[in-house]
Amino acid sequence: MTIAMSAAIAALGASIAIAGSAFATGMAQASIGSSGMGLLAERPEEMGRVLLFLVLPETLVIFGFVIAILIALGAGLI
């Protein structure tokens, strides 16, 4: 089975979209998580706010996944 060069580049672009968004989410959650734990040590009643701020970067992965799907659909891989 051979694959066209354009399809291979599209597959590479889709994988970069997912990997980049996952890396960015990890970096964001690392700083938010450490700051959130410091806040919770002083004020435990702020748990809901810390949890909300910790979940917000997860949308980056969802956006990366959607972009990867759009790239794959545009290239005819799916």
Give a yes or no: residue 63 inside a domain.
yes
Distance in angstroms (rounded) separating the CA atoms of residues 76 and 27? 32
Unique residue bearing structure tokens 């089975």: 1
**pLDDT < 50 positions in the chain:** none
pTM of the model: 0.82
- pLDDT, residue 78, reads 86
Q: At 30, list the tokens.
A: 């690392």
As for how many domains the chain has, the answer is 1
- pLDDT, residue 1, reads 67
**Structural domain harbouring 56:** 23-75
Give a yes or no: residue 6 inside a domain.
no
Unique residue bearing structure tokens 């997912």: 18
